[in-house]
């Protein structure tokens, strides 16, 4: 068996520099290192390799990436390939996948491994696009991978939004790995390394058969436009003196004043004048891999109807059947029709992408195609993009209409500090949407919606799912639609039972920081942050949350934020509207009976 590991050389966050012309991160200077997720994929490949088998590392990047790629040879890699050419600069994920597919055509591998995403983009689009171009199954976010004693069969455990799932498969395949699968492949702790056993092979675009207009900025179907600074301007008021009762009393008064103001949602400005308001159809995949309505998509539908009032929204539902209440919810959100893509459960992302692609191709007036930023949604979207040659924006948190009626998405960039506006040269313009980016705005009562049938979803015979371990339902509301969302940080985890009880009393959704989720205190589906959910409640309550930028960025659309923290210098107290200095133990009991009266 031959292994290939795809690695990306990324800049350190503190040394990353922005190219104002290409609107991309500069990768030709500053400190560069192998993407940490890719380092884990490399360790897995080296451990799975048997005598007589080879591991090849493949990377695409500037000449400055050569040193980091070369170092993999000292870790035991048999061959390292760097695709480097000035005309490749600015390539989007689809062009990157096409380049990697050409390399693998010349240097075949049975098992292709990579990280589930990279630290400089975090959208995870390339694995799905590459798997589609190669015509292979994709295993996403593997956290355990075991090879059979004989042959090319594997058992895998993958992360899901609600726990984990187990499957068996055989090579050829593409596998993306998560953080927990292994430690990164690095030099020995003493800094020593085995001598390099080979030279770095350098390849340019022409050697792979690409013309200049097929790659880079010119060949990419997505285009980066304006860089937007739309962070909420919160002016924190922090109460840090007096008895706990006095601090809470004054904080509650401040919250009442803030919540009494007109909602900013009602006065949100439009993108600007539109010369040609678009008409046509927008598609939204509204089901998950278990054939159930993904309620996070209801807000997406409502936002599409608000931005494009003349565009009809067609919901695509992949599953064994759609339930009446699910159809009513879609109609209330603004969907004009539902197309059911009949599928056996669990729904194959590979088969769903084929069915969705057929539906989109039959609609010449399609302007947009949207998917949830879940593991299932990302794979379907990436496969559709590769199958149809369409531009794909990952993790969109905003939708706008451009002057010519084009669809424009905005996504977090450069660590979430700004939003990058992305448009597509192709139609329909595809995007995955961060859960919680748009609050559902459903009408009251039943709204008629037509339900039709589309192509069936073929099962993926190359992947056999053998079990699923879902985290128990905590009985609390969905963070994407709750009016109150409570986030617990490491500092408040000893109070988890009391926080759960308070959340239930308030009818609030309970979420946590990445560190809390990584510690197993809350399931993955409850992680809020740059790499998790985005939430837009009327009131967000952050308990014991220190306030890293990666967590606070996901609260940017919350109307009012309250933080409780014992450390007056904690960053969270500079990023919220109201802060109370104190421990969760002394402050939470004083809030339990008061919070319900605020909304």
Taking the CA atoms of residue 429, residue 430, residue 436 and residue 441 in that order, the dihedral angle to the nearest 10 degrees is: 50
Residue 269 within any structural domain of the chain: no
What are 469's strand-pairing partners?
Answer: 164
Domain boundary among 450, 466, 482: 466
Residue 111 within any structural domain of the chain: yes
User: Closest Cα partner for 154 from 171, 129, 133?
Assistant: 171
Residue 335 within any structural domain of the chain: yes
Q: Give 118 or 113, the one with higher predicted confidence.
A: 113
pLDDT of residue 428: 97
**Residue 482 sits in the same domain as residue 413:** no
CATH value at residue 491: 3.40.50.1220
Instruction: Take residue 467 and report the two structure tokens written for it.
Output: 């079990």
Residue 250 within any structural domain of the chain: yes
Separation of CA 10 from chain center: 18
- What's the rounded Cα separation, in Å, for the pair 312 and 337? 8
Of the pLDDT bands very low, low, confident and very high (cuts 50, 70, 90), residue 189 is very low
Pairing outcome for strands 429-433 and 392-396 = parallel
Residue 20 contacts by C-beta under 8 Å, 6 or more apart in sequence?
none
**Residue 61 sits in the same domain as residue 208:** yes
- What's the rounded Cα separation, in Å, for the pair 447 and 442? 10
Percent of the chain beyond pLDDT 70?
89
**Residue 78 sits in the same domain as residue 130:** yes
Count: domains in the chain: 3
Residue 239 contacts by C-beta under 8 Å, 6 or more apart in sequence?
247, 250, 251, 254, 578, 579, 580, 581
pLDDT over 70 at 121, yes or no: no
Burial class (CB in 10 A: 0-12, 13-18, 19+), 189: exposed
Q: Reduce the DSSP state of residue 37 to 3 states and report it.
A: helix
Of the CA atoms within 13 Å of residue 283, those in its CB half-sphere come to 29
pLDDT of residue 556: 83
Report the predicted TM-score, pTM, of the whole model to 2 decimal places.
Answer: 0.86
Sign of the alpha-carbon torsion through 559, 565, 571, 573 = positive
pLDDT of residue 334: 93
**Residue 308 sits in the same domain as residue 450:** yes
Query: How much of the chain is in helix, strand and coil states, percent to nearest 5?
Result: 30, 30, 40
pLDDT of residue 190: 45
Rg (CA), the chain: 24
Of the pLDDT bands very low, low, confident and very high (cuts 50, 70, 90), residue 188 is low
pLDDT tens track for 441-454:
655 556 678 899 99
- What's the rounded Cα separation, in Å, for the pair 185 and 183? 6
**Residue 461 sits in the same domain as residue 496:** no
Q: Give 171 or 21, the one with higher predicted confidence.
A: 171
- What's the rounded Cα separation, in Å, for the pair 506 and 476? 10
What totals of helices (H) and strands (E) does the chain contain, helices first?
14, 31
- What's the rounded Cα separation, in Å, for the pair 523 and 478? 13
DSSP string, 313-355: EEEEEEES---HHHHHHHHHHT-SEEEEEEBPSSPPHHHHHHH
pLDDT tens track for 472-496:
766 778 887 789 999 999 999 999 9
pLDDT tens track for 227-267:
776 555 799 999 999 999 999 999 999 999 999 987 654 33
- What's the rounded Cα separation, in Å, for the pair 298 and 424? 24
- Domain extent for 481: 230-264+472-597
pLDDT over 70 at 114, yes or no: yes
* Mean of per-residue pLDDT scores for the chain: 89
pLDDT of residue 274: 65
Taking the CA atoms of residue 9, residue 393, residue 221 and residue 311 in that order, the dihedral angle to the nearest 10 degrees is: 180
- Characterize 132-144 residue by residue with b for buried, 16 or more Cβ atoms within 10 angstroms of its Cβ, and e for exposed: bbbebbbbbbbbb
Residue 225 within any structural domain of the chain: no
pLDDT of residue 432: 97
**Residue 299 sits in the same domain as residue 355:** yes
Of the pLDDT bands very low, low, confident and very high (cuts 50, 70, 90), residue 560 is very high
Of the pLDDT bands very low, low, confident and very high (cuts 50, 70, 90), residue 302 is very high
H-state helical runs in 392-485 = none
Residue 307 contacts by C-beta under 8 Å, 6 or more apart in sequence?
399, 400, 401
- Put residue 167 in one of left, alpha, beta given phi > 0 → left and psi -120 to 50 → alpha: beta
pLDDT of residue 198: 64
Q: What is the mean pLDDT of residues 523-535?
A: 82
**Residue 158 sits in the same domain as residue 36:** yes
**Residue 60 sits in the same domain as residue 130:** yes
pLDDT of residue 84: 97
pLDDT of residue 163: 81
Lowest average pLDDT, out of 398-402, 527-531, 592-596, goes to: 527-531
**Residue 195 sits in the same domain as residue 291:** no
Distances (CA, A) of 337 to 302, 356, 438: 14, 15, 20
Are the C-beta atoms of 285 and 352 separated by less than 8 Å? yes
**Residue 47 sits in the same domain as residue 174:** yes
- What's the rounded Cα separation, in Å, for the pair 358 and 283? 12
pLDDT of residue 449: 85
């Amino acid at each position: 068996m031959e292994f290939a590991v795809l690695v990306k050389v990324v800049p350190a966050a503190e040394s990353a520099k922005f190219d104002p012309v290409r609107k991309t991160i500069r990768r030709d200077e500053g400190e560069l290192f192998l993407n940490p997720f890719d380092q884990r994929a490399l360790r897995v490949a080296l451990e799975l390799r048997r005598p007589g088998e080879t591991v090849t590392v493949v990377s695409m990047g500037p000449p400055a990436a050569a040193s980091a790629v070369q170092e993999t040879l000292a870790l035991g890699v048999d061959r390292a390939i760097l695709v480097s050419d000035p005309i490749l600069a600015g390539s989007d994920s689809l062009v990157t996948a096409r380049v990697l597919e050409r390399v693998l055509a010349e240097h075949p591998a049975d098992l292709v491994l990579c990280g589930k995403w990279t630290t400089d983009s975090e959208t995870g689009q390339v694995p799905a696009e590459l798997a589609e171009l190669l015509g292979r199954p994709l295993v996403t976010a593997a956290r355990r991978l075991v090879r059979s004693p004989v042959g090319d069969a594997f058992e895998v455990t993958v992360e899901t939004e609600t726990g984990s799932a187990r499957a068996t498969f055989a090579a050829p395949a593409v596998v993306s790995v998560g953080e927990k699968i292994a430690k990164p492949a690095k030099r020995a702790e003493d800094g020593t390394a085995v001598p390099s056993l080979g030279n770095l092979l350098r390849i340019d675009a022409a050697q792979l058969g690409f013309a200049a207009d097929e790659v880079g900025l010119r060949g990419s179907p997505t285009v980066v436009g304006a860089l937007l600074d739309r962070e909420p301007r919160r002016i924190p008021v922090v109460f840090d003196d007096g008895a706990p009762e006095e601090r809470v009393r004054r904080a509650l008064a401040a919250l009442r004043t803030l919540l009494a103001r007109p909602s900013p949602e009602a006065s949100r400005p439009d993108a600007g004048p539109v010369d040609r308001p678009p008409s046509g159809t927008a598609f939204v995949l509204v089901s998950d891999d278990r054939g159930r309505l993904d309620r996070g998509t209801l807000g997406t539908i409502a936002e599409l109807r608000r931005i494009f009032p003349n565009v009809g929204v067609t919901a695509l539902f992949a599953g064994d059947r759609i339930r009446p209440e699910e159809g009513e919810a879609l109609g209330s959100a603004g969907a004009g029709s539902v197309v059911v893509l009949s599928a056996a459960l669990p729904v194959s992302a590979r088969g769903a992408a084929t069915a969705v692609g057929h539906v989109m191709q039959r609609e010449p007036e399609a302007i947009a195609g949207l998917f949830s930023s879940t593991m299932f949604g990302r794979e379907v979207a990436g496969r559709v993009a590769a199958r149809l040659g369409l531009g794909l924006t990952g993790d969109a948190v905003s939708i706008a209409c451009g002057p010519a009626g084009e669809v424009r998405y905005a996504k977090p960039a450069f660590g979430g500090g700004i939003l990058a506006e992305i448009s597509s040269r192709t139609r329909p313009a595809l995007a995955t949407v961060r859960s919680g980016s748009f609050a559902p705005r459903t009408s009251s009562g039943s709204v008629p919606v037509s339900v039709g049938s589309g192509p069936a979803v073929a099962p993926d015979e190359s992947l056999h799912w053998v079990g699923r371990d879902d985290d128990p339902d905590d009985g609390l509301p969905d963070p994407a639609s709750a009016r109150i969302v409570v986030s617990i940080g490491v500092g408040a985890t000893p109070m988890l039972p009391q926080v759960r009880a308070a959340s239930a009393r308030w009818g609030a959704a309970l979420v946590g920081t990445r560190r809390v989720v990584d510690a197993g205190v809350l399931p993955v589906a409850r992680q809020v942050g740059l790499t998790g959910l985005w939430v837009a409640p009327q009131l967000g309550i952050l308990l014991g949350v220190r306030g890293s930028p990666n967590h606070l960025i996901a609260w940017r659309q919350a109307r009012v934020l309250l933080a409780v923290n014992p450390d007056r210098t904690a960053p969270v107290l500079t990023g919220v509207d109201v802060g109370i200095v104190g421990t969760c133990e002394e402050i939470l009991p004083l809030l339990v009976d008061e919070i319900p009266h605020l909304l």
